Each structure stands twice: as C-alpha cells, then as structure tokens.
Structure 1
Amino acid sequence: MLIDAGLSATELLRRMALAGLDPLSLDGLVVTHEHRDHTCGVGVLARKLGLKLFAPEGVAGEISRVYGQNALRGLKIHEFLPGEVFEAGALEFSSFPTSHDAHASVGFCVRDGEKSLGFATDLGIAPSAVAECLCGCDIIYLEANHDEDMLASGPYPSFLKRRIFSDVGHLSNAGAGELLSRIIHKDLSTVVLAHLSEVNNKPSLAYDAAMAALDAAGAGRDVTLLVARQDRPGRVVKV
C-alpha cells in the first residue's frame, strides 16, 4: 500500500525504482487529506497502476474540486470516517483524526497481524488520543516540520507563520520530540522523521530533537532514528 502521493506519478515511479520497489506490488493508495503536497499524483498514479483509492469521507470530492471533475474518473474509491478501521489489501488500517486545516485529515496505525506502523503527519497538535494510537507501534513515521526559531525568523509572511504555528498547522521538532517521549516503548524499533520544511528546518535539527527525547527515555541505542528527505528516496525499512 502507498500512503499519499504528493509528487507526480512520473516522479513517484522514478523514486520507487531508485529504492528498488516494484510499483506493481501495490494493492492500493491511501490518502491522509486533500492538500496538494499529499495528492497531486493520486489520480494519474492510481489509474496507471489500477489502484483502489482509500480516502477520508469527502476528501475524494475535494480532490476532484481542486484537480478537475475527471481527476479520479474511473477509480474505485473507498471512503472512511476518521476513527474508522478498514482493510486495504492484506493490511488493517486504524485511522485517527489529526488537527490540521483540511476538510478531513487522518493518521494511521497499520497492522499486518504481527507488526505495526504508525503514520502521523500534518499535526498542529498531538493530543493524548493521537499518542494512544501511536503507542505500541513497531515503526513510527512522524512529522517534524519545522524548527521554531527558524520559522519565527524566516522569510515566510506573518499569516503563513501563524498558520504553521497554530493548532491546525504543523508539528515542530520540539513537538515531535515531546510526542516521542510519550510513546516510546520497549518494542519500538524505528522512527522516521518526515514532512520537514526545506525552508524552516534542517535534518540535523530534527534528528537532534528526536534523539534527545529517545536518550532521555534510555532508548537512544535501541531505536533506529532516520530523517526522510524531500529531494530523494530514503532508506527502505523492513518491518
């Protein structure tokens, strides 16, 4: 399963090839919300590969509104409510709502019967309900969008800074570290920091904030910490 398609279909296929992944092995495409950086390749990729689309209720309509009424033409679409559990391929997706300024925005705990992956990006805040959904996952893919000082002093206009800092914006490095401190457990094997701003963050800053949280919990040597980059595919993590 592929979660989100925020690049063109051509670029997604190129990056999958670089990572040694076979796109024909995909059973479907799951989206978290309708924003362009998560959906711009959805329609073309799903049609090219014959993938079923899984989306929060109303999000398919928002995608069609943004990209045109034919954007999802001919696709099989399964809509679900935030908080709903559904099956996609051989996997079970437990969705949970995230605080973000979208029509509907969700994260997931994905299970195959033995292992689990927590997926949480586009979080303005991370309340206890989100932590409860992620706690117990073997691998966690977590937003670390910005360094607060870089965002505050950076080039973005004031209205955009307010949006990112808000409760429906994005999770900072410090916020990601704080959330990690609440969900670390003995079976956690890997954390991948994701959705880093290229303007308001640096991979080293995100890494240091998360590692500080892991070290404080005594897990720094036990958990593999990775940082996903926007410009190239990252390391393949096997569950």
Structure 2
Amino acid sequence: MNLCSITSGSSGNCIYVGSSNTHLMIDAGISGKRIENGLNQIGLKTADMNGILITHEHSDHIGGLGVVSRRYGIPIYATKGTIREIKSAKSLGAIPDELFREIEADKEFQVDELTVHPFTVSHDAVQPVAYRISRGEKSIAVATDLGKYDDYTIDNLKDLDVLLLEANHDINMLQVGSYPYYLKQRILGDKGHLSNELSGRLLCRLLSDKLKAVVLGHLSKENNYEELAYETVRLEISMGETSYKPGDFSITVAKRDSVSELIAI
C-alpha cells in the first residue's frame, strides 16, 4: 500500500492512498489540473482512480470535485449529510446522482481490493468522517479536521502502518495573530482543528512497533510552519508517557503547494 499527499493545508487538500491495483483519492480540494499534475508525479493519472473519499463539505476539501468526478466518472463516497451539502454547492456544478455512494461512519465498505473504514470526527461540518484503509495486515489512515480526540478516535487509529495526522496550528501564533476573535475560538474549539501540541499528544497514544511513518498535515498557512509543527510534535513525544522516541519512526510534514514523498509499505 502507498500514501502520498498531493497537497495538504488550509488552502486545499488531496491525498492519494492505494495499492498496486486499487487507487483512491481522499478529498479533491484543488483544481483538476493540479490533481492530475500531482498524480502524474507518482506515475498515476486521475483516470486511474477507483473512488474519491470525501471527508466533509468545506471548500478546501471539495473545490475540484465537480470537475474531476464528471470528467472521469469517478464514484464519490461520502456520508448522507456530506452528499447533501455537495449537491447544494453551486460552485461545483451538477454532479450526476449515479456517481454518489452513500456511506456511514463505523460501517466498512470495499473498493476493489481495499477495505475502507470511515469514522466520525469532531469538526464544524454536517457529518464529517476520517478514513482508515486496509489491505490484508496493512493499514493507512488519514485524520484531519478534528478539533479534539477521545478513546473512540484512538481506537480507530491504533495498529496502523502509516498515519497522516493533522497538526494545524501553533496555539500561540493563532492567539496573537490577525484572525478575528470568533475565528480563533472556532479553530481552538472542540469542532475546530488539532494544534501541534494535541497532535503530538494523540500520537503518543498511537505509537507501536507497527507504525512506520507519520505525516503531519493540514497546516495553517497563517498560524503554523513546517519546522514548528515538526519540532513541537517531536517534543511532545519525547516528553510523553511512552517508551517510544521520535527517532523510532519517520515523521515528515505534508507540503501545502507540492507533492510529498510517496510512502510505500
């Protein structure tokens, strides 16, 4: 199985997860041209995709969905509430009904040789989910846009081989930054985004001998930067109640404007 971030950040998200025979895209929040160019860099084309898994309806996750799904006839997997919001988003244009596949949190489904497990996350969207994707004993998860985590979140992210996890903001940068008060409260709230610190603390609960690689994603352009997210998460692990050290596995940061390294397991 493979994971690659085509782009990840507050201005657009598109993640590739797949195997040799089955290819999935998680979110399509950038233009169709950027998606195609990104996939080309890892030897794939948009037309190769067997499905698009949508986490929620915010524009940085669905901005390119209409063009891509219509052009290539790719099935769209999303919860009932998310599908309703997608259909009402005039900027996407009309998407044929037959392309939609309604899913439910905590109900696994199959896309060719990959098993997909959606699970609920806490975010200010209608019916958001994150995804865990497995083939045999190998599992990859993509979990962003979650304002908090709990035991349910941890249970869904245990025993992974690869995890792309949100590290959205530095709390101090956000608090002293230029965002209006209501937006700061939204981001810091239980239905907002994970800070670097919370991302590191969640990782401490997930570390195992099986976990080989962690990718930090969905960084805020205004309230974070790559080195800070990386060092803060490493520090939380070093200080955390875990026997693992930051050097025991790979930690990288997904790029906002370029394709990240392909991770293969």
Alpha-carbon distance, 1:67 to partner: 2.5
Tell me the distance in 1 between the aligned counterparts of 2:132 and 2:245.
21
Contact kept? 1:28, 1:89, Cα under 8 Å: no
Deviations 1:207-232 (A, max 9, x none): 01222244454232221111001111
Partner of 2:141: 118
Counterpart check, 1:186 vs 2:209: yes
User: Which ranges in structure 1 are unaligned for 5 or more consecutive residues?
Assistant: none
Moved more, 122-131 or 52-61: 52-61
CA distance 1:197–1:36, shift in 2 (3 Å): same
CA distance 1:69–1:195, shift in 2 (3 Å): closer
Contact kept? 1:47, 1:75, Cα under 8 Å: no
Moved more, 91-100 or 219-228: 219-228
Moved more, 220-229 or 127-136: 220-229
Counterpart check, 1:236 vs 2:262: yes
Overall identity of the aligned pairs, in %: 36
Which amino acid letter does the alignment assign opposite residue 102 of structure 2? E
Alpha-carbon distance, 1:123 to partner: 0.5
Aligned length: 239
Counterparts of residues 84-233 of structure 1 (less than 5 Å): 84-216=107-239, 217=242, 218-233=244-259
With structure 2 as the length reference, what TM-score do the two structures score? 0.86
Which amino acid letter does the alignment assign opposite residue 13 of structure 1? E
Which amino acid letter does the alignment assign opposite residue 70 of structure 2? R
Tell me the distance in 2 between the aligned counterparts of 1:33 and 1:170.
14
Partner of 1:58: 81
Contact kept? 2:197, 2:236, Cα under 8 Å: no
Deviations 1:9-51 (A, max 9, x none): 1111122223433333211111011110000111211122221
Partner of 2:12: none
Higher relative contact order (CA 8 A, sep 6+): 2
Tell me the distance in 1 between the aligned counterparts of 2:144 and 2:117.
15
Moved more, 103-112 or 81-90: 81-90
Which amino acid letter does the alignment assign opposite residue 216 of structure 2? L
Deviations 1:44-81 (A, max 9, x none): 11122221110011212201212368431254211112
* Alignment match of 2:35 (pick from 12, 37, 47): 12
Contact kept? 2:106, 2:117, Cα under 8 Å: yes
Contact kept? 1:139, 1:191, Cα under 8 Å: yes
Tell me the distance in 2 between the aligned counterparts of 1:219 and 1:19.
31
Partner of 1:38: 61
- Give 3-state SS (helix, strand or coil) of 1:58's partner: helix
Tell me the distance in 1 between the aligned counterparts of 2:92 and 2:226.
38
Cα RMSD (Å) = 1.5
- Give 3-state SS (helix, strand or coil) of 2:109's partner: strand
Moved more, 64-73 or 103-112: 64-73
Partner of 2:96: 73
Partner of 2:8: none
Moved more, 20-29 or 91-100: 20-29
Which amino acid letter does the alignment assign opposite residue 171 of structure 1? L
User: Which ranges in structure 2 are unaligned for 5 or more consecutive residues?
Assistant: 1-23
Which amino acid letter does the alignment assign opposite residue 165 of structure 1? L
Alpha-carbon distance, 1:109 to partner: 1.3
Moved more, 65-74 or 146-155: 65-74
Moved more, 150-159 or 210-219: 210-219
Which amino acid letter does the alignment assign opposite residue 137 of structure 1? L
Tell me the distance in 2 between the aligned counterparts of 1:47 and 1:89.
21
- Give 3-state SS (helix, strand or coil) of 2:137's partner: coil
Partner of 1:48: 71
Which amino acid letter does the alignment assign opposite residue 224 of structure 1? S
With structure 1 as the length reference, what TM-score do the two structures score? 0.95
